[in-house]
Structure 1
């Protein structure tokens, strides 16, 4: 298997993104081979490992739209094995997390909770809370309520009065 992958890599049919991770690059007429984004790689790893993943820190802020900085070091909570994967100059870190943390169901509410945890209770600004509440209007109400029940009390209090939306 390794030799076959090596031959495909040497012939240019596949590209090695990281140790044990290969992709068939898409070819653009102008810029040449286009490799997948970090998010696409993370989704593929989660699918392969049948793992649940939740973005944390700067990645959650970026995906939610609270930050426009693309994080160089991306951290995800997972129920799979903890490890680091280096992709070019970027690093993807998978950290073990509790079942409660990984039980969040809503895409937007999950990002909102992780983003608020990153900002911190003492540093969160009213504009950020308003921005998050506006985003949460697009979340399914049942998923939002489920996730708020799992969120820390201070986050629940900040977002609870969303029902007026």
Structure 2
């Protein structure tokens, strides 16, 4: 069985919608042979290229056609492939926490990897190099909360926004929350600590 046939057999066994990386098939042949096989399978319409070196066997909706993976899924795949850390920032962090209904067209993620811009259709994902401290947060909610509050700005957080964030932080693992509070600016620490204080009552 050729490398292409082996890759095809494995792809068909994977649920539609899952992202595929060339490294997923590295034991089947050389990197060049795997890359060429994926290129041919893309031309045949078996898989779809969503970003450089990232493919998907797309799901198809009877209402809207081919479903493209979310930006977050693509960033996770890039992080896995390149062995880097990423943290969503800005308006995307606000949207992820339910503090904004706007889905930003261009997304910014902090990373310890190489800075770059990834084009996905009309959208852009920017990986922005940052200091290690900004990537040390352990909790998913608390990490988003820190970035969302930074986006809103010191002194500009509305009471309803603060209450929403505190409510979400109560769902965070206490150990992770305490760890992440220490990483935040002092004004953000004061807000985050309220989740711990409320939890004691």
TM-score class, shorter-chain normalisation, is over 0.9
Q: Deviations over 1:29-79 (max 9, x none)?
A: 554432211111111111111111100001100111101111110100111
Q: CA deviation at 1:140?
A: 0.8
Which residue does the alignment assign to 2:198?
A: 164
Matches within 5 A, 1:119-134: 119-134=152-167
Contact 2:166–2:191 under 8 Å retained in 1: no
Matched, 1:47 2:80: yes
Q: CA deviation at 1:114?
A: 0.5
Matched, 1:140 2:177: no
Distance 1:130 1:79 in 2: 31
Q: CA deviation at 1:121?
A: 0.3
SS at match of 1:48: helix
CA RMSD of aligned residues (A): 1.4
Count residues in correspondence: 165
Mark the structure with the bigger radius of gyration.
Answer: 2
Runs of 4+ residues over 4 Å off in structure 1: none
1:23 alignment partner, one of 50, 56, 74: 56
Distance 1:30 1:124 in 2: 39
Normalised to the residue count of structure 2, the TM-score between the two structures is 0.77
Which residue does the alignment assign to 2:115?
A: 82
SS at match of 1:94: strand
Q: CA deviation at 1:7?
A: 1.6
Q: Deviations over 1:3-28 (max 9, x none)?
A: 43332111001112123332221233
Matched, 1:92 2:125: yes
Q: Can you give the 5+ residue segments of structure 2 that lack an aligned partner in the other structure? A: 1-31
2:140 alignment partner, one of 90, 93, 107: 107
Higher RCO, Cα 8 Å, sep 6+: 1
SS at match of 2:161: helix
Q: CA deviation at 1:101?
A: 0.5
Q: CA deviation at 1:88?
A: 0.6
Distance 2:56 2:137 in 1: 30
